[in-house]
């Protein structure tokens, strides 16, 4: 049974993308929707069978696999929809994702697929970090940027719905280079979630665990390892290594499958997130040399 009850308030629809659900019998809050109408229809069926309410929708971040089913739900249910600041702009204008991945150019048609761009949706309320009253529920929104610009995780009734702030162990290793936009913020968010005092946690991709702090630590170690690999690569090039060479070398090293433009752009963004992390931490320097963005080791 993929629809699991965690405690008297909290449920998880476990799937390729987990969907959270919290209820006190009066308010029914769905957390993310999965990629399209078919994923969210299955959850709705489970709620109807159990006569559970559906009154509110919270979207953690504007990635199509987390909000793609929202427009379908909004057409059929009276739902009050809440989303984090900034992410909400992308949810209302989903072509912003292929646009930013493509470095600001008008995206080529192959980038406008359902994995990078879901149907536009409505956002009724913008959320910030802190305690939120959602209907009759009280939940804590925790800023967890790094994977997406203003992602909010939710701690509700002893369950942390962490979205993509971390990945399950299996998913972490499967992705090889997990998608992030900023390595420093990713690690800070992971350290922050370590302090959350819920009984268990569930990531967007992976299993519910009571021992989630171990998985958070594994995520931290995994990111630090990639960052070290990038630093080591740059250290071997005292005369500089270009951005393009760095992306290719790291993708080769981790044996990722980035052979088409959408996949490659996701890996390019992730590798760049480690590079900018090293620049922030003053571990490498950079300039534009001969019209190529180039990285250099720091000479002591």
Q: Which residues bind Zn ion (CB under 5 A)?
A: 63, 164
Pick between residue 157 and residue 179 the one whose CB is nearest to Zn ion. Answer: 179
Q: Where are the alpha helices (DSSP H) in the chain?
A: 37-49, 64-67, 70-76, 87-92, 96-101, 169-175, 183-194, 212-235, 243-253, 261-280
Q: How far is the CB of 103 from Zn ion (least distance, A)?
A: 19
Pick between residue 52 and residue 96 the one whose CB is nearest to Zn ion. Answer: 96
In terms of Cβ atoms closer than 10 Å to its own Cβ (0-12, 13-18, 19+), residue 122 is middle
**Closest residue to Zn ion using C-beta atoms:** 63
Mark residue 290 as left, alpha or beta (left: phi above 0; alpha: psi -120 to 50; beta: remaining): left
Neighbours of 103 (CB within 10 A): 10
Q: How far is the CB of 48 from Zn ion (least distance, A)?
A: 28
Q: How far is the CB of 179 from Zn ion (least distance, A)?
A: 7
Pick between residue 17 and residue 137 the one whose CB is nearest to Zn ion. Answer: 17
Pick between residue 63 and residue 268 the one whose CB is nearest to Zn ion. Answer: 63
Q: What is the dihedral of CA 207, 211, 215, 220, to 10 degrees?
A: 150
């Amino acid at each position: 049974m993929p629809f699991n009850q965690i405690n008297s308030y909290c449920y998880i629809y476990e799937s390729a993308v987990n969907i959270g659900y919290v209820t006190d019998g009066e308010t029914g809050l769905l957390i993310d929707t999965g990629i399209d109408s078919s994923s969210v229809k299955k959850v709705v069926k489970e709620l109807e069978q159990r006569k559970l309410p559906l009154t509110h929708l919270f979207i953690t971040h504007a990635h199509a696999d987390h909000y793609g089913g929202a427009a379908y739900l909004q057409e059929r249910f009276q739902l009050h929809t809440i989303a984090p600041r900034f992410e909400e702009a992308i949810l209302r204008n989903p072509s912003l994702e292929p646009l930013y991945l493509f470095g600001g150019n008008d995206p080529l048609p192959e980038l406008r697929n359902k994995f990078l761009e879901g149907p536009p949706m409505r956002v009724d309320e913008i959320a910030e970090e802190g305690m939120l009253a959602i209907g009759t529920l009280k939940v804590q929104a925790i800023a967890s940027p790094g994977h997406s610009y203003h992602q909010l995780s939710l701690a509700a009734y002893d369950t942390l719905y962490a979205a993509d702030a971390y990945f399950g162990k299996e998913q972490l290793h499967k992705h090889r280079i997990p998608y992030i936009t900023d390595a420093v913020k990713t690690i800070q968010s992971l350290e922050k979630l370590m302090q959350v005092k819920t009984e268990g946690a569930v990531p967007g991709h992976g299993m519910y665990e009571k021992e989630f702090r171990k998985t958070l630590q594994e995520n931290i170690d995994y990111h630090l390892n990639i960052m070290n690999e990038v630093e080591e690569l740059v250290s071997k090039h005292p005369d500089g290594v270009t951005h393009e060479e760095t992306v290719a070398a790291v993708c080769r090293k981790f044996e990722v499958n980035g052979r088409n433009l959408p996949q490659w752009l996701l890996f390019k963004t992730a590798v760049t997130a480690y590079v900018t992390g090293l620049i922030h931490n003053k571990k490498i320097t950079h300039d534009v040399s001969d019209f190529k963005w180039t990285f250099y080791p720091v000479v002591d």
